[in-house]
Chain A
Amino acid sequence: MISDITLGQYFPGTSILHKMDPRVKILLTVAYIVAIFLCKYVLTYALMLLFTAWLVLASGISFKTILRSLRPIVIILIITALINVLFTGGEGEPLFVLWKIRVYEAGLWRALFMALRVVMLVAAGSLFLTYTTSPIALTDAIEALLSPLRLIRVPVHEFAMMMTIALRFIPILIEEAEKIMNAQKSRGADLSTGGPVKRIKGLVPIIVPLFISAFQRAMDLATAMECRCYRGGKGRTKLRRYRVGWRDLVMVLLMTGVTLGIVLGNRHLPALVGWGYSL
């Protein structure tokens, strides 16, 4: 049913990733992405992969769930890999020739690197942000990080509030839609057979009540907010105050260490090991 759609993919938990300051998490995500693109040598990729694997373990989220989050990008992965394998030029002898296309060792390496990059990007995004940060914490953090924009009169708080409300309403509306569908099915609504015109017409008894209740809810919420004297962000304090703690420090240090390792590894390891492909 609809509720199976993993929209709010947040998995509540108590891991170090869950307990981090969401603001630091967003900044770390950016750092992580930069680190991915710094990787140039096979062993530095391995280091990054190792770090990612550790993050998954630390988050307490199963590898299966992470792999499932990769499912939508499988096709993109395959296409990028293929293009890299087939169209990377190289020096020396090609590994083999497919019709007129020469495949070089460099192409295989590149394909592997690109695929790893995409996989790590998606895994990190879901690990740091969607899986371990509640939507509310996320919007709070975005508001905090964007707050300098207030100086140039961007209504940051209002945007964040709209985002929070929208996110909060998603599960409510899903539940509402399910309830209405059940009520109409109980009156013999047939939602799964017939041609496209019949199906669209069949949706009217669901969409009309859904809209009406959404508007009603919006109005009720506005009244409730006014009753509690809401008047925008000015002078407003927060229920949840985020503080940078030791966990954040540990993660920042780790991330810095990994990034340094990658930069130094890119420069020195190839000569030291004398093996492997370097971009």
Chain B
Amino acid sequence: MNILELKNISYTYGRGTPFMVKALDGVSVGFERGKITGLIGHTGSGKSTLVQMLNGLLKPDSGQVLLDGRDIWEKPKEIRSVRFRVGLVMQYPEYQLFDDTVEADIGYALRNMGKSPDEIARRVRDAAAFVGIGEDLLSKSPFDLSGGQKRRVAIAGVLAMEPEVLVLDEPAAGLDPRGRKEILGGLCRYRDTHGATVILVSHSMEDMATYCVRVVVMSDARLFAEGKTGEVFARARELASVGLDTPRVSHIAEALIAAGVPLTGELYTVEGLERAFLAAMRGEGKQ
């Protein structure tokens, strides 16, 4: 079941000026309910434009965006209710912080939703917990935090809406490995507890392999490939042709296969390769 579906979406920036750029060209793609889907593509492939279609920040020139089977542009005046259901975390979201305290900033969306103060307080604490922001930080000014903490607060500001669909554009860009793991892990926990659908844009093929069940590949304003993570990464040559790589582990797997080790299974994560490798070794031992 797809919770979000794009049907034949096209979008052009700067129509009618010398700076016209076609950002999306007849893109149709569905996002499965409750799953984590990855979105990858070279810089300028139309990823960020696509992401802004999902919660109605941009209106497609042609085509439809369906949320639960209903066109989100059916009633343009009520687009805000779509944005509460499809939470979007933009790239480098820390620039969106503005309020006096971390607590108030995370609660901004909730005040816009018209929630009661009690509800706001509860949701702010829940959201902060998901991204690892402790109670002690809630009364601080967001501008006194470190870069990584700012990022967490900004993500919490969207999580607080408790959206059914969570779209994140490079949520872990520029963070250290531990920060990456904590933030992405927090998002997984959010999905598990709320049954939410997650769409993750990333340049890190390792993150894609670790967290995503399905992967959507964009290239040159068009949909290039879509499918289960393993199936997509199995097409390493095609991915290379559009300027994308596969996870580094899969290069090792390829080299091992070339050296005559019979590997099968999920060869694009460290754990998967480990299992496959051990199985292959045991197989050889029996002979």
Contact = CB atoms under 8 A, between A and B. Distances in A.
B157 A205 contact: no
Contact of B96 (A11, A180, A190): A180
A185 B83 contact: yes
Contact of B55 (A186, A205, A213): A186
Nearest to B157: A187
A213 B143 CA distance: 12
B109 A188 contact: yes
A213 B95 contact: yes
Contacts of A12: 18
B90 interface: yes
Nearest to B93: A183
A187 B18 contact: no
Given A12-B18, A188-B109, A212-B143, A179 B88 contact: no
Interface string A85-128: 00000000000000000000000000000000000000000000
Given A186-B87, A188-B80, A188-B84, A179 B95 contact: yes
Interface string A187-211: 1111000000000000011101100
Contacts of A11: 18
Interface size for chain B: under 10, 10 to 19, 20 to 34, or 35 or more residues? 20 to 34
Nearest to B77: A193
A186 B113 contact: no
B101 interface: no
B124 to A, nearest CB: 13
Given A182-B57, A187-B108, A209 B158 contact: no
Interface string B106-142: 0011001100000000000000000000000000000
A212 B158 CA distance: 21
A182 B157 contact: no
A14 to B, nearest CB: 13
A186 B88 CA distance: 6
B52 to A, nearest CB: 7
A52 B97 CA distance: 51
Interface in A144-201: 176, 179-180, 182-190
Contacts of B113: 188
A-side interface size class: 20 to 34
Interface in B62-103: 80, 83-84, 87-90, 93, 95-99
A209 B95 CA distance: 6
Contact of A183 (B80, B95, B143): B95
Contacts of B89: 186
A190 B95 contact: no
A188 B95 contact: no
Interface string A1-44: 00100000001100000000000000000000000000000000
A204 B98 CA distance: 8
A179 B48 CA distance: 12
Nearest to B58: A182
A245 to B, nearest CB: 25
B161 interface: yes
A199 to B, nearest CB: 14
14 contacts: A180-B95, A184-B96, A185-B83, A186-B89, A186-B90, A187-B83, A187-B161, A188-B83, A188-B84, A188-B112, A188-B161, A205-B99, A208-B98, A212-B143
Interface of A: 3, 11-12, 176, 179-180, 182-190, 204-206, 208-209, 212-213
Given A187-B83, A187-B158, A208-B98, 16 more contacts: A176-B95, A179-B90, A179-B95, A180-B95, A183-B90, A185-B83, A186-B55, A186-B89, A187-B112, A188-B84, A188-B113, A188-B161, A189-B112, A204-B98, A205-B96, A206-B98
